[in-house]
Structure 1
């Protein structure tokens, strides 16, 4: 049943994309709970500690990879389906450009949000790290090593490609995948801050950022481009949050 997603109807494809995203979220959270429980039985993992955050992030990444791998195995999809290859100098240049564009979009969105008098919410990890800024430190390298690769594998490599085939348009795949990417972050941004207008604004920003990553993927045809851009973007954000928390600026 190789490449069977090519014949999937748009409605079924969108529903399937949402189900894959939810599965990735659930499996990641479940593995996080299990991993923290197992590791804490050997070494202490205090709440809001660097070690606890690292274990949780690695487990969540493993959950995303597991869901992506199971989907590809179920549909007999080859690795070429993901459109991932050794990056050329051109690809690396586009990865740098994509990272710059992400920060430019964030700055523009922030300016518009300020002008409209709107507010946004913070990631739950950033909020919890206010008591212990060091909890953010392992997330800086893990953003590049874990978050960027695993989230892009599922959301762009599998979900966006599935939607691209079913909707028969790259643009449609980018837009819907970005929407799914945004909505799956509701627990991370909403559980501690509430589900009001601030969360909606934050999700809108994430939608734009997800769309830019998706566009970079489609334009270059290499999943490593959004992987690099996403990982570096998150690493810089967590690094900035840490520097701000310790009063560096």
Structure 2
């Protein structure tokens, strides 16, 4: 999909899907703003993007569990551009451990704050820039753990709670922004393999029903959804699991 002339913001871009999407968006001509919890991680990805595609990219530190840094991230992006066309809400802390006692209180609070509150505040503070776009999309990387009675993951209950809250927010936001023509698209993937988007076989690797879901396949779903005509509102992608 050609993203030339479009401004894209990606949270949690330091690794995994966020990094993969940012690299692809750069190759597709987008103007990019990327964030990670640590400035060094965001800068590293920005340097990769610049070296790979020559795309214009700025990198920022943004701790999604800290409201002040979320506001600051949006303000700093607004100093560089007057609109955002695609917001990828990818950042969220993962917390392992099936038992409540597998994590301390601070880790639990941080997980819920980054996955739930962080997504809400990012959407809130970028909404003025999204409203200036001729066709904005908000994409939320949720998780299959947010699906009702999906108990396959060994994630901590706090991660389940964060993703359930994120899903509820995305659902109501989709309904309330549709009259403005802003699409809210949520993906509910199970665990998937990252791969390396800079590896020459990443795009063309043969994928079968016996293989685990890949970041490339999730990325393809996002590109399909945001590439549809503006009368097409795809609210969510759910993935069948064996």
> Normalization by structure 2: what TM-score?
0.29
Q: Could you say which structure has the higher helix fraction?
A: 1
Task: Specify which structure has the bigger relative contact order, considering alpha-carbon pairs within 8 angstroms and separated by 6 or more residues.
Answer: 1
Q: Give the number of the structure whose alpha-carbon radius of gyration is greater.
A: 1
